[in-house]
Amino acid sequence: MMRTHRLATALAAATLAFGATGCVGPLRESGGGVHTIRVLSEPPGATVLADGRELGTTPLVIRPGEVFPARFVGREYRYAGTLALRRPGCRPWSVQVDDAVLARDVVARLECGPGAAVPASVREKPTVSAGDPVAERLRRARRLHEEGLITDEEYRALRRRILESL
């Protein structure tokens, strides 16, 4: 009886410890979708590297769980790694990431010399604009719904997938 009680107490303590250290899996949005963040830089157009692996250029949307898989760091199960930005004419920028850093957008203000002007081709564009294919896809989904070709549920799911692709 005493042995069973000690085992139950130890199991409960371990469960609480794992929960308190964040051992609950990858970050998720409140609606149950996979968490994404934007990596932004001022000026834009910086190359983004995750643990030395090139991901693209800013502005960039990433899924932290795919870029920095959660792993044990000491006794904690969490995201860990290095996020770095490089841009010609600017001082390199980096941050050690963890769950707190990856819980929101990452914005880096790069220290650049006078020769690091921002070309018009890399200036940040609005996410959804009149000529944007995403805006057109959203309008097309709405038309399908209005014409009764897809149900309310299908329309919401389609709209969610389009917006998650940003």
Number of structural domains found in the chain: 2
Which is more confident, 43 or 1?
A: 43
Q: How far is residue 123's CA from residue 119's CA, in Å, rounded to a whole number?
A: 7
Is residue 7 domain-resident? Answer: no
Is the pLDDT score of 84 beyond 70?
Answer: yes
In the DSSP assignment, the letter for residue 27 is: -
pLDDT in tens, 40-57: 988 898 999 999 999 888
Q: Are residues 59 and 136 in the same domain?
A: no
Is residue 4 domain-resident? Answer: no
Is the pLDDT score of 120 beyond 90?
Answer: no
Is residue 8 domain-resident? Answer: no
Residue 97's CB: how many other CB atoms inside 10 A? 20
Q: Are residues 62 and 132 in the same domain?
A: no
- Give pLDDT, residue 16: 46
- Give pLDDT, residue 49: 92
Q: Are residues 100 and 119 in the same domain?
A: yes
Q: Are residues 29 and 104 in the same domain?
A: yes
pLDDT in tens, 22-31: 444 444 444 4
Q: Are residues 132 and 119 in the same domain?
A: no
Q: Are residues 34 and 91 in the same domain?
A: yes
Q: Are residues 102 and 153 in the same domain?
A: no
Q: Are residues 31 and 71 in the same domain?
A: yes
Write the burial class of residue 150 (CB in 10 Å: 0-12 exposed, 13-18 middle, 19+ buried): middle
pLDDT in tens, 53-73: 998 888 888 888 888 877 777
Q: Are residues 19 and 85 in the same domain?
A: yes
Which is more confident, 30 or 142?
A: 142
* Phi, psi (deg, nearest 5) at residue 148: 75, 15
Q: Give the range among 4-18, 30-44, 73-87, 152-166 with minimum mean pLDDT.
A: 4-18
Is residue 44 domain-resident? Answer: yes
Q: Are residues 39 and 117 in the same domain?
A: yes
Domain residues for 78? 14-124
Is residue 77 domain-resident? Answer: yes
Is residue 55 domain-resident? Answer: yes
Half-sphere exposure of 40 (CA within 13 A, CB side): 11
